[in-house]
Each structure stands twice: as C-alpha cells, then as structure tokens.
Chains A and B, each alone.
Chain A
Amino acid sequence: AQSVTQPDIHITVSEGASLELRCNYSYGATPYLFWYVQSPGQGLQLLLKYFSGDTLVQGIKGFEAEFKRSLSSFNLRKPSVHWSDAAEYFCAVGGPGGGTSYGKLTFGQGTILTVHP
C-alpha cells in the first residue's frame, strides 16, 4: 500500500528565510506526487505536481520541489518565505492509471508552517 510521511509536524521560520518541507513516500511504481497548501478556512490548493521528466518542478507562489527516486523523497522548497505562506502543507501521492488516479490520493500528515516577522 502506498504511504506518505511528512516528518515535520510544525516548522517555524522567519520571513525572508529559506524553507524546505520534507516528504517521503512509499509506492510500488513510479508515483504521481503533489504538494497542496491549506490556509485556515480555505480549501486545498495545488502548489505543484510531478509525473515524469525533469525531477525539479516549479509551482505557484515561488515554490519548487525535487523528486529524488533514490531517496523516495519529494521535498518542497522556497528560497524566501513570505508571511502569507503561513499555512498547512500536505504532500500526496497518487498512482498511474488515468483520471481517477489523480483524484484518489494518499496524503501525508501535513506540516504546519509558522512565519515570524
């Protein structure tokens, strides 16, 4: 069975500092990987996704993530954090197989990001 681990429950950074959120997955084949952000009172918003090809993917809001097959990781990074980035971040994995697989996701536990001014 597929699984996702986000080792850090809560991370605090200062505004302007760099950020890296960790994500490790377990999946029997090439996974489809996603990062979502959930702000208080908001739904989930997709930051970026990886299916194949270039292992460094760019997303919205200045985020990027790197797929490392050897480490089974898909860490999310941002070079300079803004106060508005404070939210909860979820890593998710889905499998190949077509449209339903993009919606049938396994989520990690989430990482809450706090940004200090």
Chain B
Amino acid sequence: SAVISQKPSRDICQRGTSLTIQCQVDSQVTMMFWYRQQPGQSLTLIATANQGSEATYESGFVIDKFPISRPNLTFSTLTVSNMSPEDSSIYLCSVSEGTEAFFGQGTRLTVV
C-alpha cells in the first residue's frame, strides 16, 4: 500500500499570505488528488494532478487560488494563495493504487 507523507502537518498563517503543502508518495503513481475538509464538513475534492500536465480543478476551485505542481510521479504541492480565515481547513493528499485510495495525514491550516 502507498505511504503518503504531507508537510507541514499543521500551520497557522496570516491572512493574505500563501502556504505550500507538500505531498510525497513512496511509489510512483499516475494521479494524485487534493481534498479539503473544512471544519465539521466532509471531504471535497479540489483537483486531480497528473504528472506533466496541468491539474484538473473541480467546480468551485480555481488555479489562481490553489495552484498545484506535479513535477514527478512521487511528488506534488498544493499552494493556498492569498489566504483568508475561510481557508482554514484540513488539506489532504490522496493517491489511488489498484482499487484503493490512500490518504496522507493531512495538513491542518488555520488562518488568522
């Protein structure tokens, strides 16, 4: 099973700044996925990241706000730009391997 490491595990950021979250997988994967879990809410898919091409964003999420990089088959970053308190959430990285999706521990972001 894939092992996913996310950094940082948590952070407190000032509004108007940006935070880049890193996701490292211990095996090569085609697709990586980024989810957001707002306080008391379920997980919502932000985008799908394919190596070598632009990420595909879900409705309600835009590249200017959540730019994603996918430089190789084991790594991806998600940036939360120009943050506001509404961006306070847990952000999770996920990969699919076989018929199963694996998730990182998540990054707990608080914007003050």
A residues neighboring B (CB under 8 Å): 32, 34, 36, 41-44, 46, 49, 51, 90, 94, 99-110
Is B48 touching A107 in the complex (CB atoms < 8 A)? no
A-B pairs with the 6 shortest C-beta distances? A103-B96, A44-B103, A102-B96, A43-B105, A107-B43, A107-B42
User: Can you offer 15 A-B residue contacts whose CB atoms are under 8 A?
Assistant: A42-B105, A43-B103, A43-B104, A46-B102, A51-B99, A90-B42, A99-B30, A100-B30, A101-B96, A102-B100, A103-B96, A104-B48, A107-B44, A108-B42, A109-B42
Our count of residue pairs bridging A and B at CB distance below 8 angstroms stands at 60
| Chain B residues with a Cβ under 8 A of chain A | 4, 30-33, 41-45, 48, 92, 94-96, 98-106
Interfacial chain A residues near B44, Cβ < 8 Å = 107
Once bound together, how far apart are the Cα atoms of A41 and B101, in whole Å? 19
Looking at chain A's contact residues, the main secondary structure is mixed
- What residues of A have a CB within 8 angstroms of the CB of B98 in the complex? 99, 102
Min CB distance, A115 to chain B, in Å? 20
Tell me if B's interface is mostly helix, strand, loop or mixed. strand
